[in-house]
Amino acid sequence: MGEHLFALLPEEYRQEHFLQTIGRRNRWLIKLRFGAFGILFVLSAILLLLDYYTPSFSFDSLPLIIISLIILGYNIFFYRASSVLDERRRRTAKFADYTIKYRFHDLHFSLLQIVADFLALMFFIHFTGGVETPLFVFFFFHVIIGSLILPGSIMFLIVSLTLLLTAFGAWLEYSGIVAHYHLNLFPYELYNNSVYLFVFFISFAVGLYLATYLANSIAKELYKRESRLAKTLLDLEEAEKIKSQYVMTIVHDLKTPIAAATTYVNMIIDGTLGNINPTQKKPLERIKFRLDNAINTINDVLYISKLKAETSIEDVSEVDLIEVFNQIYNDMRILIKTKNLSFEFEYEEKSNFTVQAEPKLLKLALANLISNSVKYTEEYGKINIELTEQSQEIHICIADNGIGIPEKEQGKIFTDFYRSSISKLKGIEGTGLGLSFVKEVIERHNGQITMKSPSYLNVHGRPGTQFDIVLQKNFSII
């Protein structure tokens, strides 16, 4: 069945993003159906009240209430089934693997939903007057929704069956085989008027087929655009990998002579190559400092380029964030005490702060943020770290009352090589790659990072910076 359904789709649609689009529309349809149930149930209740309190109005609304409850029941089933399909799709990235492995998938799920809705609408229309009810217009609404999800050939088949079943039902009422439910909308009955039935179903058929054609044409164009955008995105990702590999090659070649120069400068400073004058030592130490900065910059570029070139993170394991932050503090303790900084680490001891992550990468990212707080916070300043657990998420807040970041520059801080004007003005050394690296690592772990300045530790003359991170406890690593 799966191959037959997909055989009706153009080849360019049979990609991973197509399933994701169908999945999103399936979930949207489920949410929409909950709203439709509410409207139908209220309508049924109103008809029930009119029947009870208005002697001139006679209508049996019990079948409508039963149909509404049936719609609610199968929609709850669809809601739960959609979660199973989402999990399958997440575990199976390749389109071909997904359709081969699972005999029932998103497109089948769409078909099942559309068919169920058409049948429910047919029964609802029958019990509200058949061809006399204005609720027939809802078939056009269902046709448009179905055409945005299902292939055109399938929708034309559904529309044809709908016309046959509704016409057959009208004939049964016309012949007196099935009872007709009169809604008292007209002073006379139309269900037994052959001319009216002929004109009605000719108009209804033309309208349904035309709506199907137009809606499906629009859907095809949308799928084509999504397909082109998805291909463009893949091409950009491939170009980014090639660029990163090229940068890694060039930068690695630059590292070798700089490292050699650093070695010779160290030998001169420590006297291995002979004594030097005290006046020569200070410039040499400055040269060594600059060469070390160059090496650090090259290492940062290599690490970021390697991270962008890789498609996934490997060596994922459970990481205890409390232990990570304690290690980072021990590594930086001397510098923190030298600057007389107040360092506070707050967390609820009964909570579980373990996440799935690549330990080295995550520690480097978090250490980078704390290192920035230490670097950009002046003496007697404050640095606070707070961990909170919220369901399957861990929220990390790293705040300081350092020099802060100007508001007009805050949108650029995660850009490669960007450094704020204040840090340059104060002569604080840096490469401008740290926050870019942090953002890349956090997003590779399916997390989010945001920045605020001033921070909640803001005091007069010390605006500070605050980074808020959200990490998933259990989530597949990108």
Please give the residue that has the higher pLDDT: either 398 or 63: 398
The three-class DSSP label of residue 315 is: coil
Q: Are residues 81 and 213 in the same domain?
A: yes
**Poorest-pLDDT segment among 211-215, 340-344, 354-358, 411-415:** 411-415
Residue 16 lies in a domain: yes
Q: Are residues 197 and 63 in the same domain?
A: yes
Rounded to whole angstroms, how far apart are CA atoms 10 and 15? 11
For residue 133, what pLDDT band results from cuts at 50, 70 and 90? confident
Residue 74 lies in a domain: yes
Q: Are residues 98 and 234 in the same domain?
A: yes
Rounded to whole angstroms, how far apart are CA atoms 444 and 306? 13
- How many residues make up the chain in this entry? 478
Tokens of 309: 């070139």
Q: Are residues 206 and 68 in the same domain?
A: yes
Q: What residue numbers bound the domain in which 119 lies? A: 2-238
Residue 364 lies in a domain: yes
Q: Are residues 231 and 331 in the same domain?
A: no
pLDDT of residue 417 exceeding 90, the answer is: no
- Tens of pLDDT, residues 382-396: 999 999 988 888 999
Which among 205, 238, 271 is the end of a domain? 238
| 319-345 CB burial, b ≥16 within 10 A, e <16 | bebeebbeebbeebeeebeeeebebee
Residue 33 lies in a domain: yes
Rounded to whole angstroms, how far apart are CA atoms 20 and 333? 48
Residue 7 is predicted with a pLDDT of 45
Which among 191, 217, 238 is the end of a domain? 238
Q: Are residues 215 and 334 in the same domain?
A: no
Rounded to whole angstroms, how far apart are CA atoms 55 and 351? 64
Task: Give strand pairing partners of 395.
Answer: 388, 470
Residue 303 lies in a domain: no
Which among 211, 238, 265 is the end of a domain? 238
For residue 208, what pLDDT band results from cuts at 50, 70 and 90? very high
Residue 15 lies in a domain: yes
Q: Are residues 109 and 219 in the same domain?
A: yes
Please give the residue that has the higher pLDDT: either 192 or 434: 192
Q: Are residues 216 and 126 in the same domain?
A: yes
Q: What is the CATH number of the domain that holds 392?
A: 3.30.565.10
Rounded to whole angstroms, how far apart are CA atoms 407 and 420? 10
Residue 307 lies in a domain: no
Closest of 357, 355, 348 to residue 388, by C-alpha: 348
Residues 6+ apart with CB under 8 A from 309: 241, 244, 245, 248
Residue 309 lies in a domain: no
Q: What is the pTM of this model?
A: 0.53
Domain count within the chain: 2
Q: Are residues 114 and 227 in the same domain?
A: yes
